[in-house]
Structure 1
Amino acid sequence: MMVVFAVILLALLLFVTEPVPIDITAIALVVVLVVLEPWTTITPADGLSGFASSATITVLAMFILSEGVRRTGVVKQLGDRVVDWTKDSPLKQLGAVVGISGGSAGFVNNTPVVAVMIPMAISIAKQTNSSPSKLLMPISFASMMGGTLTLIGTSTNILASDVWDRVGGPATEPFSMFEFTAVGLIVLAVGSLYLLTVGRYLTPERIKPELELTAEFELADYLTEVVVREESPLVGRTIQESLQTLAVDVDIVHLVRDGETFGEPLARKELREGDILLVRTDRETLLELIDTEGVDLLPQTTHHDADFETDADGTLIEAVVLPGTNLIGETLASLNFRGRYDATVLAIRRGNAVIRQRMDHTPLRGGDTLLLETTGETADRLIRNRAFVVAQDPDWTSYRRSKTPVALGIVAGVVAVAAVGWLPIVVSALAGVVAMVVSGCLKPTEIYDAVDWNVIFLLAGVIPLGIAMEQTGAAEWLAALVVAGSADFAPLVVLGVFYLLTSLLTNLVSNNASVVLLIPVAFDVATAIGANAFSFVLAVTFAASTAFITPVGYQTNLMVYGPGGYRFSDFFRVGAPLQLLLAVVTTLSIGWLYGV
């Protein structure tokens, strides 16, 4: 038990601090548990069982099904109607985005739901002269609560079902599709009411209405025009060569020659005398550039978004770096970002902080919002890139609108077949994946990019940890401590304590890790005090799906962190009352519907 507890503490520390990606930590966890088999009891077969788990395979399939629905643009169609319906009412806007994100997250994974809702919310805000900050955090929170409606709403529910089936032995079986929908509806209704009332006033307006992107990212002091002199050493060099030889923090955003403006790609453009360059740099570096590189400063002008609409289809866009992608920890320099994506990064927004200097060597984090000067063609490629969420509405041509009924029909079929018990959910979901490809909703090459692989490896890594807790008696020992400390409390109070404990752990580490660690303990505690074990397992499951207090507690919180310009403390201000409210509501609802 002591060895297992030591491994758990080490794993939690790595999950919180993330010195390496969590999928690498998960693989290392499997290795450590197997190497320490004499103490952990985890054989190689046990260690690899997470990769063959029905929960892991089901989650993988659900990512692909969600991508099939996303590519039809069905959520964007709803968004366009929302704009028409809610133009005159901020409350209607909020109610619409909360309803769409909460309702759809019960059947489509909440990560792609939020990915589609971000540009929708920004579009609504721009068209109605409101702040996107007032919409984005509620979208994330609603998608989490919506995930509690069905078994397939989140990976947490699917994993909890698998763990419940294992710890309960022959007396239990996996959750059915709508096993806890009644509680989920209560949670979503109460939580939505909070977001539309108290939460509406607590949610800050960090990004002001009517701001252009150049003003929003405060670029006025960092964009300057210079003209190349005849004797400049830059003459005859390409822009790529020039940037490599400059030992200062500067970017050439676009080039004006004979009245024609050129944007990305600029790397191979050869500089000539009289070329006008729009550069991104600070004043100190600009003076050094004038002294050493033979350029003259042009009169200072105010730059607007329209200035970046170059003759080569130039445009300004915001792109959010998604958590768990291969961009995390890399820098713009190590990625060769400009060369790889044909885009110039003008600024990085991290929460409410804007980084405009020494960006090339700033490691990227999940939720970072990049302000890019690029072309429409590159913007379309970034929209299709699973590492980003582009915060501008894409063109309809990027969606397969004709496949909307087919994709929705496939998901409905998967749900129906599993709900009536004709096939296990894992088989039904895999059949749905095949149908998505055969029907043309997804191309075969797109299914691998649709999967959030760090979640898959995390599931595969933590499942053996739960087995080790059960087989070494660690879960039973922890349960005995809880029972001894709660002897004077009613089972309903103990149930509420488990909810709060799980929600606290989830806000610090992974929701899936919380489920694996606490469901065995909850099961043993309920058994020891003669309570309903299913109710205790449900409390842990619901708490693990609702992490509102920090932006790092849940992936969707990080996704809206940058686009909303939020501060870290904003999530606590809005999320803590909601967390406490749902602790009471969920506990009482489970006790009322399932007994304690």
Structure 2
Amino acid sequence: MVDIAIVSAIVVIALILFATEKIRVDLVAISLMVVLMIIGLFRESFVTPQEAISGLSNKATVTIGAMFILSAGMLKSGAMSWLSQKLVILGGSSETRIFVVLMVACGFLSAFINNAITIAVFLPISLTIARQYNISPSNLLMPLSFISIVGGTCTLIGTSTNILVSSMSAERGYGEFGMFTVTPLGIIFFAVGFIYLIFIARPMLSRLTGLTRRYRLQDYFTLVKVSKVSTLIGTTPAESHIHEKYGVMIIKIRRGDKKIIFDVPNTVIEAGDTLLVQGTDEGVEHLCFSKGCIVQKDKSPADHLTDGGAVLTEAVISPSSTLVGQTLKRSNFRFKYGAFVLAIRKPKAKDIVRESLVDVKFEVGDTLLLQGEREMITDLARSSDFVITQETELPDLDKPKAVASISIIGMVILLAAFGVMPILASALLGVVLMIFSRCLTMQEAYDSIDWFVIFLLAGVIPLGLSLEKTGATDIIAQGILSGTEQFGPIAVISIFYFVTTIFASIMSHNAAVVILFPIAIAASNKLGLGSPMPFLMAITFAASSSLSTPFGYHTNLMVYGPGGYKFSDYIYTGVPLNIMFWILATLLIPVFWF
């Protein structure tokens, strides 16, 4: 009982840390692995050191990593962008038809390609369509994210959760899922979700305003004239330590018709210069009083952000970004990317961040409002750190590589679907062929892997093993059954679906599956079912279709800022669809898998 108490306490602490994210989720996961390993040195019923690191070599972890690389190969060859644009052309000028084509194309591709990469391709295209046809971006982006998530439920490789449950099932002797084992219910989920998103979700989503108004930039920028007696004359902004002393950032210096934008820190200020500055009224007034400057009575100083060839754009921090956990100061952002960050919209913050930006830590899904030269957008679009929300030059379509990448992914699917080899082997074969066909370089392959997911799995898989080895799963399963067993196995399956949905809404969907998988197996055995497949399908579909918060899936975070959504938008839009899926799963899982 002592061991059960220990592992139960660890699970509770992990759930709290996963849900609150006070500490990075991947760091929590790795810490779990280390803690369980150390405890296992002294308690026989916990994991051994070999079992503690089994998450790193687990078939699911390796397969998911391989799928990231395969998806990136198709993206780098230009095939994804070319295909998506050709499909969008079919939409014509009808808003409904455009919406339908976008949804079908995105959902179909997400069944075979990592959905974060699918959204990275469709996000800028969708926003361009929204501007051209005067469609609210908010009416496109959340439905696009939702349909990519639901599309992933249609095949084994559509989502990492499917691969993970399949791998854990095989390890415990119940066999792997086939490529299309999940397809019957997945297609029904897709059809219901598609209808819901067209006829119900779109009218529920609010409309947006332009970038300047959305970020209320007019309230945070001021034009300041350098007088003839100013003590700033003859100094550079860097030498004057203006930001450190007054909390004011100089965005641009205007000198007659000459506009200096990107070399502001090292530009010597002269009398008559006009400075476009960002900061509070108090900070600007203090600067002007101390340095002999004059505030210009310009009604819309933010309009000067885009003169002189400058542009404004939004960039979303991608799931694989190297900026996650860093700040503007630590990352040397302006020097590295040639852009100035004017504001940050964070999914977990109620207000847009416009002050003290240099010390704000970046997180996945943060939307940065950037100012810079037009070439900056193309450069940023090539970086795996961002998803740019306006359409840029697409990767050049290399027809031989595009054909190769599509053929390789098709081969991976067919080899696994016809049982020629397991998905792990076919996916790794596909990775090798992607490299040798030069669809990707080795460095691009490394960069394409979402290491957050890999380290998360490495940490939580031994937690699931610890629950089993200590006997905690049997006790938890018995507790669930004691209140529901009299209603029959279908009711118990429904309860597991509901609990998994809640878990996946507040923490990683993969972590939710790893914790609930052994409990589901134990419950199935106690009920005397011949196969645990109905329970496995319940937790798989519940975790794979978590829609009610921005945090259930990275794609929800990716569209949060560009769509101008609030947290409540996900609840109002996602919860009804999750309830529909819950009812469908309760009714249909017994039909397909009992």
Same fold per TM (> 0.5)? Answer: yes
CA deviations over 1:340-398 (Å, ceiling 9, x no partner): 32221112223573222232333333322111111234333322322221111121356
Aligned residue type for 1:177: M
Which aligned pairs between 1:215-294 and structure 2 lie closer than 5 A? 215-243=213-241, 246-294=244-292
Contact 1:503–1:544 (CA under 8 A) maintained in structure 2: yes
Deviation, structure 1 residue 244 = 5.2
* Structure-2 separation of matches of 1:592 and 1:93: 35
Which aligned pairs between 1:575-594 and structure 2 lie closer than 5 A? 575-594=574-593
Aligned residue type for 2:181: E
* Structure-2 separation of matches of 1:178 and 1:147: 12
Assess, with a 3 A threshold, how the Cα gap between structure 1 residues 239 and 439 changes in structure 2: closer, same or farther.
farther
Which aligned pairs between 1:259-408 and structure 2 lie closer than 5 A? 259-302=257-300, 308-311=306-309, 314-323=310-319, 325-351=321-347, 353-397=351-395, 400=398, 403-408=401-406
Match of 1:193 in 2: 195
Is 2:74 the partner of 1:63?
Answer: no
Select between 496-505 and 240-249 the one with higher mean Cα deviation. 240-249
Contact 1:97–1:139 (CA under 8 A) maintained in structure 2: yes
How many pairs align? 586
* Structure-1 separation of matches of 2:290 and 2:78: 52
* Structure-2 separation of matches of 1:242 and 1:81: 53
Assess, with a 3 A threshold, how the Cα gap between structure 1 residues 309 and 399 changes in structure 2: closer, same or farther.
farther
Contact 1:353–1:565 (CA under 8 A) maintained in structure 2: no
Assess, with a 3 A threshold, how the Cα gap between structure 1 residues 49 and 131 changes in structure 2: closer, same or farther.
same
* Structure-2 separation of matches of 1:438 and 1:265: 43
1:267 aligns to what SS in structure 2? helix
Contact 2:106–2:148 (CA under 8 A) maintained in structure 1: yes
* Structure-1 separation of matches of 2:366 and 2:592: 42
Match of 1:33 in 2: 36
Match of 1:550 in 2: 549
Match of 2:524 in 1: 526
2:219 aligns to what SS in structure 1? coil
Aligned residue type for 1:181: T
* Structure-2 separation of matches of 1:196 and 1:63: 30
* Structure-2 separation of matches of 1:159 and 1:517: 12
Aligned residue type for 1:316: L
Assess, with a 3 A threshold, how the Cα gap between structure 1 residues 202 and 39 changes in structure 2: closer, same or farther.
farther
* Structure-2 separation of matches of 1:235 and 1:94: 55
Deviation, structure 1 residue 500 = 0.8
Aligned residue type for 2:104: G
Contact 1:380–1:398 (CA under 8 A) maintained in structure 2: no
* Structure-2 separation of matches of 1:335 and 1:587: 48
* Structure-2 separation of matches of 1:498 and 1:245: 54
Residue of structure 1 aligned with 2:107, choices 102, 106, 112 = 102
Deviation, structure 1 residue 518 = 1.3
* Structure-1 separation of matches of 2:181 and 2:570: 30
* Structure-2 separation of matches of 1:397 and 1:502: 39
**TM-score normalised by length of structure 2:** 0.93
Select between 397-406 and 468-477 the one with higher mean Cα deviation. 397-406
Aligned residue type for 2:570: F
RMSD (CA atoms): 2.2
2:487 aligns to what SS in structure 1? coil
* Structure-1 separation of matches of 2:439 and 2:385: 21
* Structure-1 separation of matches of 2:71 and 2:242: 42
Aligned residue type for 1:392: Q
Assess, with a 3 A threshold, how the Cα gap between structure 1 residues 444 and 365 changes in structure 2: closer, same or farther.
closer
* Structure-1 separation of matches of 2:547 and 2:30: 28
Contact 1:250–1:279 (CA under 8 A) maintained in structure 2: yes
Contact 2:246–2:284 (CA under 8 A) maintained in structure 1: no
Select between 231-240 and 482-491 the one with higher mean Cα deviation. 231-240
Contact 1:265–1:342 (CA under 8 A) maintained in structure 2: no
Assess, with a 3 A threshold, how the Cα gap between structure 1 residues 153 and 222 changes in structure 2: closer, same or farther.
same
1:278 aligns to what SS in structure 2? strand
Deviation, structure 1 residue 562 = 1.2
Is 2:130 the partner of 1:125?
Answer: yes
Contact 2:88–2:101 (CA under 8 A) maintained in structure 1: no
* Structure-2 separation of matches of 1:530 and 1:244: 72
Is 2:171 the partner of 1:166?
Answer: yes
Is 2:482 the partner of 1:477?
Answer: no
Contact 2:224–2:294 (CA under 8 A) maintained in structure 1: yes
Select between 392-401 and 6-15 the one with higher mean Cα deviation. 392-401
Q: Kindly, what percent of the aligned residue pairs are identical?
A: 39
Which aligned pairs between 1:145-184 and structure 2 lie closer than 5 A? 145-167=150-172, 169=173, 172-184=174-186
Deviation, structure 1 residue 402 = 5.7
* Structure-1 separation of matches of 2:66 and 2:304: 43
Is 2:199 the partner of 1:203?
Answer: no
Residue of structure 1 aligned with 2:51, choices 27, 36, 46 = 46
Residue of structure 2 aligned with 1:115, choices 106, 110, 120 = 120
Is 2:37 the partner of 1:22?
Answer: no
Which aligned pairs between 1:406-445 and structure 2 lie closer than 5 A? 406-445=404-443
Deviation, structure 1 residue 65 = 0.8
Match of 1:135 in 2: 140
Is 2:90 the partner of 1:90?
Answer: no
